[in-house]
Amino acid sequence: MFPSLVSRTQFGLHSPQAGLYLDARRAPGPVFVSHAHSDHCSSAKRIVCTTETAALHRRRRGPRETISLAYGQPLTVGSATLELSPAGHTLGSAMAVIRSDAGTLVYTGDYKLRAGAFSHGVPVPRCDVLVMECTFGDPRFRFPPETEVLRQLYAFIDQCHAAAVVPVVLAYAFGKAQEALFHLTTRGYRVLVHEPAAGLCNAHEELGYSFPGPGRWEPYTADHGAGDVLIMTPRARADLPRDGRRYRFVHLSGWACDRGTARRVRAHLALPLSGHADFDELVRTATESGARKVYTVHGSPRFAAHLRRLGIDAEHLGQHPQLAISTPAKAALVTEPAAVSVGTQLSLALG
């Protein structure tokens, strides 16, 4: 029904109308970077992203020729107009909304709709073709209210402190660590943050996103006591001193909905604090977008099958939109874009 609004190439997904690759790790032309997690950062010469993602991407991958946009700021790219819409996944994360005479394409990247520490909630953009992340596209991944997750986290920490045990929060260095720190300082704890998460917390503050009191945070040192809270990645626990101090570990991840997660990650507790949409949010996104064609990436092909049972024309493309996709082309998906020069001109739309 729609001319090819999204195509697949050896570099990953591509918008022919915009001449823009979508979260490609490398590409011969400009790349939209949805957020600054390492698996979405790009080595491309030119990237397009939000101002916050530009700063975080530069910190993680070095300088790039960058066009940085505020949410809702239109940019003329090729024969299309690009706007970035909040994605709620990490600070600066964005969906790409690409409008052209051929129709509207929305590429979500990683996202969640519910509000968080650095997001006030995410509207679902309307479109003709939707490419959506579906990491948790299984009915068992229905996340409880964040207030309940935080209640359990605070109870775990308070129990540790009462037992003179140091509580250690295991979280991804970017995104989850800062989300946890926001809530822990708000609660009033003294928090020590291990690298590389500490540097990324500093980056948040430099961008104007602070961690409120009455608690405070500092970079991790071995000089910590049973009244502190530590934040570190699972790998970093090897740096904990082995001098008789006792530790208990809580792991923050959407995968905590799976039984046995705590045991698999060697934690005493696992809690589903996630930067991704859960099953119900994924269904809501596909439904409220009004898309006539939905492509799913990441997660299981069973989610696309579920959407088809709801009467939505959905197809699963695979695990990584940054990688080449080997399934046959259908409908609005074609196999190759027109050649895009590294020197392709991008210009801000006026008015």
What confidence tens digit (pLDDT) does each residue in 279-324 have? Answer: 999 999 999 999 999 999 989 999 999 999 999 999 999 754 443 3
pLDDT at 332: 43
pLDDT at 344: 30
For a pLDDT cut of 90, what percent of the chain falls above it?
Answer: 79
- Looking at the whole model, is its pTM more than 0.85? yes
pLDDT range class, residue 140, cuts 50, 70, 90: very high
pLDDT range class, residue 99, cuts 50, 70, 90: very high
Question: Which are the contacts of 312, defined by CB distance < 8 A and separation ≥ 6?
Answer: 286, 287, 291, 294
**Residue intervals in the chain for CATH 3.60.15.10:** 6-140+276-348
pLDDT at 88: 96
Distance set, CA 108 to CA 53, 98, 158, 180, 189 (Å)? 15, 11, 38, 24, 35
- Per residue in 53-70, pLDDT (tens digit) is 999 998 887 777 889 999
Residue 62, burial from CB neighbour count under 10 angstroms (0-12, 13-18, 19+): exposed
pLDDT range class, residue 235, cuts 50, 70, 90: very high
Residue listed under structure tokens 């998460």: 197
pLDDT range class, residue 43, cuts 50, 70, 90: confident
Residue listed under structure tokens 């996103």: 209
How close are the terminal C-alpha atoms of the chain, in Å? 31
Average pLDDT of span 161-171: 97
* Strands 190-193 and 216-219, bridge-based pairing: parallel
Class of the CATH-defined domain 6-140+276-348: alpha beta
pLDDT at 61: 76
**Residue intervals in the chain for CATH 3.40.50:** 146-271
**Strand arrangement of the beta sheet that strand 65-69 belongs to:** 65-69, 46-50, 31-32, 20-22, 12-15, 6-9, 333-334
Residue 256, strand partner residues: none
Pick the CATH number of 146-271 from 1.10.1060, 1.20.950, 3.40.50, 3.30.479: 3.40.50
Q: Is the peptide bond before 125 cis (omega within 30 degrees of 0)?
A: no
pLDDT at 321: 42
pLDDT range class, residue 41, cuts 50, 70, 90: confident
